[in-house]
Amino acid sequence: MRRAVIFDLDGVLVDSFAVMYEAFAVAYKEVVGDGPAPFDEYRRHLGRYFPDIMRIMGLPLEMEEPFVRESYRLASQVPVFDGVPELLTTLRARGFRLAVATGKSGPRARSLLGRLGLLPFFDHVIGSDEVARPKPAPDIVEHALDLLGFSPEQAVMVGDAPTDIASAHGAGVTSAGALWALSETDELLAAEPAVLLNRPADLLALCPSVPGD
């Protein structure tokens, strides 16, 4: 019997790509200089912790400061995906406990969710700076399970990136691939999520009411 859902944040709960693009472009110009910011390559690594992405791409770690600054400044422009508030409301009504496990830092994730009015839905919001190894390692999902007090068999992890699916697999949690933000699905499908969700409400079929709630 499932009792918990662990969500990725960007591309699952919120459509943050436009804001990410602007913040990344500003950070690239400030630290690297003129020329097009390689956002397409950056987007392929989403789900990972920002400093890890910079290392993979061979970009200066100094980009993190302006990127985070601009992300905070633009946070009010991030839209919540259609159907997400209704999904979260229904899951709570069915007795589920909810967590976020994100590639963002914990303070930035909690700040964004607070500004968007979503923070009260979640028992825990965990950032990549709050575990020893960020995604695709299983640490962040395992930490969420520990905080929620459930076994892997009692939870599902919803993500839109291969790193999310790998983290769920490593933790022994059922993985659900969120398709609603993706224009190309090949990489996510290659990660072999256990379930595919075309829209947020599809998750409800996996999450019947918890007995006694």
Counting every residue written for the chain, the total comes to 213
Q: C-alpha distances in angstroms, 19 versus 1, 101, 165?
A: 38, 20, 24
Both structure tokens of 106: 């914990």
> Which pairing describes strands 124-126 and 155-159: parallel, antiparallel, or unpaired?
unpaired
Of residues 8, 15, 160, 164, which has the active-site annotation?
8
Active site residue 10: yes
Of 119, 143, 147, give the one whose Cα is nearest residue 130: 143
**Diameter of the chain measured on Cα atoms:** 60
Of residues 10, 139, 160, 164, which has the active-site annotation?
10
Active site residue 8: yes
Both structure tokens of 36: 């097009």
* Residues labelled catalytic: 8, 10
